[in-house]
């Protein structure tokens, strides 16, 4: 399977620390060596980097570690291919445009015999079950809403759609349009919120400790969502199976 990383932040934040831990899992400390990608929202704009080389040995990934980009919404992925060849068009995250906004999606799991009927302008470029699921979700969202709805409305619609995909297998995913981060757990997903008072954190996959109190202001806050915890000394919360959470300004929205 693959590994996911998502950040939803109250203020623009770089993913250098968390991405470094994820990068090591892309072919060094773990076997997810079939490509990687990361997306940074900047207002309505988007920077998307994908590579079919392993993240642990990718010059582009090393460049991004040295040139951290700041964003309020970041989605990253390291791939272990289960369907679709190791090619650039099959590398997550995937991106499409709906209602005048970029949408970014990354998936961890395996959907068996999943061939949804796609009849609008959302069609996959590659041949992964993940991209097919993304296209179907956007197609159904577009059918349900004439224009961009509120985050709570989008969340309700997603909850209604998800069972139709889940029945085909494991469907852990991250989704964002630059306004919110949606995270769905089928089998495994964890999150934490870093906020004042900040503390130290040490990566599990690399000898790197950061004192977040030295690099953050009191108003900074970031929700970090991962497949498996990236740090050894922070308290991560596991998602329940079948749970969909939405994060805005670095916090999970309660009651949505």
Distance of alpha carbon 208 from alpha carbon 164, whole angstroms: 41
The β-bridge relationship of strands 94-98 and 70-78 is unpaired
How do residues 133-147 score in pLDDT, each as one tens digit?
999 999 999 999 999
| 197 cis-preceded (ω within 30 degrees of 0) | yes
Mean pLDDT for the stretch of residues 203-207: 89
Question: How far, in Å, are 109, 118, 130, 173 from residue 112 at the CA level?
Answer: 10, 17, 11, 16
Q: Of the candidates 93, 53, 71, 78, which has an alpha carbon nearest to the alpha carbon of residue 16? A: 71
Per the annotation, the verdict on 95 as an active-site residue is: no
E strand or H helix at 73: strand 70-78
- For residues 75 and 93, the answer to whether their CB atoms sit within 8 Å is yes
DSSP annotation of 55: G
Q: Would you state the structure tokens that stand for residue 204, as one six-digit string?
A: 């599990």
pLDDT, one tens digit per residue, over 104-142 is 999 999 999 999 999 878 999 999 999 999 999 999 999
Label each residue of 125-180 as H, E or C. CCCCHHHHHHHHHHHHHHHHCCCCCCHHHHHHHHHHHHHHHHCCECCEEEEECCCC
pLDDT of residue 252: 96
Give every strand in the sheet of 36-42, ordered side by side: 45-51, 36-42, 70-78, 3-14, 221-226, 190-195, 237-238
C-alpha span between 8 and 127 (Å, rounded) = 29
Average model confidence (pLDDT) for the chain?
A: 92
- Using the predicted structure, report yes or no on whether residue 86 has a pLDDT greater than 80: no
Cα 196 from Cα 126, distance rounded (Å): 42
- For tokens 């749970």, name the residue: 243
Lowest mean pLDDT across 9-18, 26-35, 149-158: 26-35
> Is 38 within 8 Å of 15 (Cβ atoms)?
yes
- Identify the H or E element spanning 25: helix 16-25
What's the CA gap between 210 and 117, in Å, rounded?
47
The token pair that represents 40 in the structure block = 């940074």
Structural domains in the chain, sorted by start: 3-252 (3.60.20.10)
* Catalytic residue (choose from 2, 9, 135, 185): 2
Helix axes 16-25, 59-66, angle to 10 degrees: 160
Q: Is a pLDDT exceeding 60 seen at residue 32?
A: no
């Amino acid at each position: 399977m693959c590994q996911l990383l998502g950040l939803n932040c109250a203020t623009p934040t770089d993913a250098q620390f968390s991405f470094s831990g994820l990068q090591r899992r892309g072919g060094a400390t773990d076997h997810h060596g079939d490509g990687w990608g990361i997306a940074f929202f900047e207002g309505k704009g988007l920077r998307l980097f994908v590579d079919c080389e392993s993240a642990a040995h990718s010059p582009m990934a090393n460049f991004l570690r040295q040139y951290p980009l700041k964003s309020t919404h970041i989605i990253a992925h390291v791939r272990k291919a289960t369907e679709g060849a190791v090619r650039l068009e099959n590398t997550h995250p995937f991106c499409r445009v709906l209602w005048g906004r970029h949408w970014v999606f990354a998936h961890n799991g395996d959907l068996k015999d999943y061939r949804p009927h796609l009849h609008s302008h959302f069609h996959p470029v590659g041949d992964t079950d993940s991209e097919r699921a993304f296209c179907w979700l956007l197609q159904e969202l577009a059918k349900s809403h004439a224009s961009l709805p509120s985050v709570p409305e989008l969340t309700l619609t997603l909850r209604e759609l998800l069972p139709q995909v889940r029945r085909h297998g494991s469907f852990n995913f991250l989704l964002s349009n630059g306004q919110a981060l949606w995270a769905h757990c089928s089998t495994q997903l964890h999150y934490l919120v870093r906020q004042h008072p900040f503390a130290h954190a040490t990566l599990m996959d690399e000898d790197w400790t950061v004192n977040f109190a030295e690099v953050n202001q009191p108003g900074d806050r970031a929700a970090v969502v991962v497949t498996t915890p990236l740090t050894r000394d922070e308290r991560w919360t596991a998602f329940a199976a079948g749970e969909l959470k939405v994060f805005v300004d670095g916090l999970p929205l309660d009651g949505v």
